[in-house]
């Protein structure tokens, strides 16, 4: 509206001031063109960061209460579910020394198998819908190599979803560590934070392996949190 108003005022002024007419007409055209371009390029709906943060806070508080009530471990494992309705599930094992259940056993909330090490809860990760939206923006398939995959996920977190101001990935031996700065939804170390969840789900789906994700504060002025995803070797 502001750009359109500038264009209209400049156009009217050009009629009143012949000496400055070329400059004013140029300004009018620029303002009106920019207004039209903004209407077509801007997203149809804006959601303030504090609104999204409040929605995530409710989710995180519920999951944290569930974990505390059941006495579950601090492990967070994103398991790909290629045959399921969603790309991956978040498995929170009961014990720190755990075994991964089969993907088919991750459908219900409570995972109870004959192996006590496989027991825990299976949750819908916030990164599942985010990854599906990110894949719609890609010109090709999701990379299946850890380096390009980590770059694409970090770019998606910053550029596509504006979940953080910066996300810098570093690829190591069967792991990816992303330095995150300026998280939009508060503390990135909280359970299933969208940044960490997108990384975990994206790595799990792209590599076709379960990925354990940890987030911790960084001793670095350039980043706030280090989010590390470690994937399980083939056959484990």
Checking if the pLDDT of 207 tops 90, the result is yes
**Higher pLDDT residue, 234 or 202?**
202
Percent of the chain with pLDDT over 90: 58
pLDDT digits (tens, 9 = 90+) for 96-152: 999 999 888 898 789 988 899 999 999 999 999 999 999 998 888 899 999 999 999
**Higher pLDDT residue, 46 or 154?**
154
**Tokens linked to 32:** 């009106």
Which contacts of 16-25 are long-range, i.e. CB under 8 A and separated by 24 or more positions? none
CA-CA distance, 229 to 199, in Å (whole number)? 7
The overall pTM is greater than 0.85: no
CA-CA distance, 89 to 171, in Å (whole number)? 23
Which contacts of 24-30 are long-range, i.e. CB under 8 A and separated by 24 or more positions? none
> What average pLDDT is seen over the chain?
89
Helices (DSSP H) in the chain: which residue ranges? 2-16, 21-41, 49-70, 127-137, 146-155, 194-207
Reported confidence tier of residue 33, pLDDT bands at 50, 70, 90: confident
82 exposed, middle or buried (CB, 10 Å; 0-12, 13-18, 19+)?
exposed
Checking if the pLDDT of 236 tops 60, the result is no
CA-CA distance, 9 to 6, in Å (whole number)? 5
The reported pLDDT for the residue numbered 126 is 95
């Amino acid at each position: 509206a502001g750009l359109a108003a500038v264009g209209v005022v400049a156009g009217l002024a050009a009629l009143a001031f012949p000496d400055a007419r070329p400059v004013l007409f140029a300004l009018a055209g620029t303002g009106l063109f920019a207004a039209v371009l903004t209407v077509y390029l801007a997203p149809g709906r804006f959601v303030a960061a504090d609104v999204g943060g409040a929605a995530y806070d409710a989710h995180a508080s519920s999951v944290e209460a569930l974990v505390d009530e059941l006495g579950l471990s601090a492990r967070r494992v994103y398991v790909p579910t290629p045959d399921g309705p969603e790309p991956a599930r978040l498995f929170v094992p009961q014990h720190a020394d755990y075994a991964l259940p089969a993907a088919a056993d991750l459908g219900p909330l409570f995972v109870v198998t004959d192996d006590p090490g496989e027991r825990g809860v299976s949750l819908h990760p916030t990164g599942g819908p985010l990854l599906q939206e990110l894949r719609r923006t890609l010109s090709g398939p999701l990379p299946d190599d850890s380096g390009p995959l980590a770059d694409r996920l970090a770019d998606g977190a910053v550029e596509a979803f504006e979940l953080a101001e910066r996300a810098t990935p570093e690829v190591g031996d069967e792991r990816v560590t992303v330095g995150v700065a300026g998280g939009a939804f508060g503390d990135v170390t909280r359970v299933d934070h969208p940044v960490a969840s997108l990384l975990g789900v994206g790595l799990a789906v792209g590599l076709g392996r379960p990925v354990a994700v940890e987030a911790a504060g960084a001793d670095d002025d350039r980043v706030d949190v280090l989010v590390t995803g470690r994937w399980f070797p083939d056959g484990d």
